[in-house]
Amino acid sequence: MTFSFQKSAELFPAAVRRKKRAGFSYRRFDTAADAVRFAIEELPADSLNGAYLQVDEARFDQNGIRSLYESRDFPLPRRKLDTASAETRVPKDAA
């Protein structure tokens, strides 16, 4: 069975929250592609950890969501994640 990025999807937060700060709450998306893009590009890493995506009867955890995003069938443009600036940042104490 082929996954359809055009079906509606629901994104659920982690069941247990250790931090009592504003995180994300349940969201419904018109397309699974929009939900996957939001989860990978917009959610903070701690919110993505433990969250799951539901499309019809199929559920995807953090790794499944990432696999969908990295799939060659993913229909939306991907934002380039800026990892270089984080890796090259030098702490003030080290300078």
Distances (CA, A) of 62 to 11, 24, 40, 53, 91: 11, 15, 9, 8, 30
Q: Give me the tens of pLDDT residue by residue for the chain, a chain 95 residues long.
A: 579 999 999 999 876 555 555 567 899 999 999 999 999 999 888 888 889 999 999 999 999 999 999 999 999 999 876 544 333 333 444 44
The conformational region for residue 15 under phi > 0 = left, psi -120 to 50 = alpha, else beta, is alpha
Q: What is the pLDDT of residue 8?
A: 98
Q: What is the pLDDT of residue 79?
A: 87
Distance between start and end Cα atoms, the chain: 54
Look at residue 55 and give its three-state secondary structure.
strand
- Enumerate residues 6+ apart whose C-beta is below 8 A from 10: 26, 27, 28, 29, 35, 53, 54, 55
Q: Which residue has the tokens 């090259």?
A: 88
